Structure 1
Amino acid sequence: MPFTDLPLVELERFRPDVREPADFDAFWAKTLSKSRAAGAGRGADLVPAETPITEVVVEDLTFPGFGGEPVKGWVVRPRRRPDDAPLPAVVEFNGYNGGRGIAGERTGWALAGNVHVFMDTRGQGSGWGTGGDTPDPHGGGPAAHGWMTRGIEDPRDHYYRRVYTDAALLVEHVRALPFVDAGRVSVTGGSQGGGIAIAAGALASAAAVLPDVAFLCAWEHGMQVATSDPFTELARYLAVHRDALETVLTTASYLDGVNFARRITAPALFSVALMDDVVPPSTTFAAYNALASEDHEIAVYPFNGHEGGQTRQWLRQVEFLRARGLAV
């Protein structure tokens, strides 16, 4: 498999011109405020999950997300005595068209001593894995196959406005759990999950942000250079809606991971793979190079594709958080 993008030396200084709306912060503040109000009085609801796993606690999570709508997830945590101190938490978001799956599929963070929260991605869960449980009860205008162009005519209607809101509010709900140390809630995810983690990290001021092979960054550049979905969904849409480019770019500017990265001051550990033929490495570097954080690192996997560093990157994440007192 060949390298798919710019040479590493150019990626390290790649800063595309990503437009930023003047009302970006106001747009998101209003979005979150309205959804908090819609879900007022309802916190995260946890019930024991049906699972044969006994050595860690696995709970079925429901919380009010965008518009107060119920969103599912899993909480996995060590078995602790009632008098033990609250634990750090890692909130994880999933890849494109995957769901939360079956209870107990992901136990690594809990087995390492932390609370792990895994969010279902609304409307997704039928492309791979073992399914999802959160509908997206919203329609939209004409769209290409996939999620990138759903509601593309207006940022208020776009699919990722709802998903990012779910993610940011989940971080807030996790902070309120009695067994979680509210000052040590970090976010992570791969591909789409990495893009969601960047947005949630900025909107909810997470303690640390750890995206892997992050998608949803530098949308305009991505749709120009990507050779496969999901970025090519935008190109297919514009091939039909030939006069919609300005509309697409305006909507994308409210959702672009580069604009969220500009607002992240927390410690950040990114990863990228230089043979990635799904998410062009330059789009991930665009967000990484835009970080406001002074404490940031990026792990580069030169000979990997979209799978990235996998478990090796997880080990780096554990070390990164422990070094900063953000994980057990």
Structure 2
Amino acid sequence: MPHFDLPLPKLQGYRPERDEPADYDAFWDRTLAEQRAHALAPVFEEIDAGYSQLVTEDVTFAGFDGQPVKAWLLRPRHVDGPLPTVVTYIGYGGGRGLPGEWTGLPSAGYAHFVMDLRGQGSGHRTGDTADGALTGPHHGGFMTLGIGTPDTYYYRRLFVDAVHAVEAAQAHPAVDASRTIISGGSQGGGITLAVAALVQRVNDTPPIGAIVDVPFLAHMRHATEIVDTAPYSELVSYLRTRRNDVDAVFRTLSYFDGVNFAARSTMPAMFSVGLLDDVCPPSCVFAAHNHYAGPASMKVYPYNGHEQGGAFQDVEHLRFIRGLVGG
């Protein structure tokens, strides 16, 4: 597939106006304040996952409205803690999967907390967390679930889960709360952008860095206008039949757009982009990066799509983490 978006020099300077509702901060302050009552102590249960050099724990913590959310916590068995820890969020349709999918970072000496996704996990990885608040008509997937209002929208629940996941990870005695990093790709990258902005509002020891690979949920209206791929196509299909709801839908989405979160995020961040990505278009990724309020770098893969750097980007992750935590 040829390059379909702006050329790289224009992408590097692409900083579109943000569509931000007047009560954006008030909405998220209210949401987070309401959810503090549900920040219950996480439960960690060690399991035998077959990896003798790693400790694997099945985690349950309280997410949105106190609903149980699952996670994995993996760490090296014979390394003295507390350990620098990476909290990871999953791509669209996936769940926490199996422990064996997450052995890389623990093998490098870090603890790795992998959050499950409510209602997802029937796609590329299995999941174990229900969504206890399904509401309203929607078109498949999750992009339009509860989209009638910001309060009922699916990603309000998921982003609260993700903020609580940081606190759940930091509650473990083997985790160094002062050296926590958040990460994710695609949908996970969009969640990471949200957490980078929101966790600073409620956590006295916020993460010290963010890894944001090919973020989904950024510059969303623009994405629907230049690509026809899923998951953004869910919005197009929904609005094809609900012709009078266009303005209301994009008003809801403006509370969840990664570009608006980026403008409020100050921790160091590393982004990546594939210039052939027709799932999360390069201009959407650069829009978030170029609005990012903190120090941010961008790793560009000119001839890759949504897979971006793959294992090559994993090497960049380790370099970024070491630069933040030392060692």
TM bucket (normalised to shorter chain) is over 0.9
Give unpaired runs (5+ residues) of structure 1. none
Give the corresponding residue for 1:252.
253
Cα offset for 1:18?
Answer: 2.4
- In the alignment, does 2:138 pair up with 1:143? yes
Cα offset for 1:80?
Answer: 3.9
Q: Is the 8 A contact 1:49 1:103 kept in 2?
A: no
Give the corresponding residue for 2:203.
none
Q: Aligned partners of 1:165 and 1:218: how far apart in 2?
A: 21
Q: Is the 8 A contact 2:53 2:78 kept in 1?
A: no
Equivalent pairs counted in the alignment come to 321
Cα offset for 1:27?
Answer: 1.3
TM-score by length of structure 2 reads 0.95
The percentage of aligned residue pairs carrying the same residue is 47
Of the three residues 151, 157, 172, the one matched with 1:162 is 157
Q: Is the 8 A contact 2:87 2:113 kept in 1?
A: yes
Cα offset for 1:105?
Answer: 1.8
- In the alignment, does 2:105 pair up with 1:104? no
Of the three residues 89, 93, 96, the one matched with 1:93 is 89
Give the corresponding residue for 1:303.
303
Counterpart amino acid of residue 97 in structure 2 = G
1:1-16 to 2 correspondences below 5 Å: 1-16=1-16
Tell which deviates more after alignment, 250-259 or 315-324: 315-324
Q: Is the 8 A contact 1:76 1:104 kept in 2?
A: no
Of the three residues 186, 189, 192, the one matched with 2:184 is 189
Q: Deviations over 1:96-135 (max 9, x none)?
A: 1011111232111111111100010110011223x10000
Cα offset for 1:211?
Answer: 0.9
1:206-225 to 2 correspondences below 5 Å: 206-225=207-226
Give unpaired runs (5+ residues) of structure 2. 201-206
Counterpart amino acid of residue 133 in structure 2 = H
Give the corresponding residue for 2:314.
314
Higher helix proportion:
2
Give the corresponding residue for 2:169.
174
Q: Aligned partners of 2:148 and 2:251: how far apart in 1?
A: 9
TM-score by length of structure 1 reads 0.95
Cα offset for 1:38?
Answer: 2.6
SS of equivalent residue, structure 2 residue 102: coil
Q: Is the 8 A contact 1:275 1:302 kept in 2?
A: yes
Q: Deviations over 1:130-157 (max 9, x none)?
A: x100000112222112111111110100
Q: Aligned partners of 1:50 and 1:85: how far apart in 2?
A: 21
Cα offset for 1:244?
Answer: 0.6
SS of equivalent residue, structure 2 residue 288: helix
Q: Is the 8 A contact 1:88 1:327 kept in 2?
A: no
- In the alignment, does 2:122 pair up with 1:126? yes
Q: Is the 8 A contact 1:114 1:327 kept in 2?
A: no
Give the corresponding residue for 1:261.
262
Cα offset for 1:327?
Answer: 5.7
Q: Deviations over 1:172-207 (max 9, x none)?
A: 222222111111111111110110111111111321
Q: Is the 8 A contact 1:213 1:306 kept in 2?
A: yes
1:227-306 to 2 correspondences below 5 Å: 227-293=228-294, 295-306=295-306
Q: Is the 8 A contact 1:89 1:185 kept in 2?
A: yes
Q: Aligned partners of 1:35 and 1:201: how far apart in 2?
A: 17
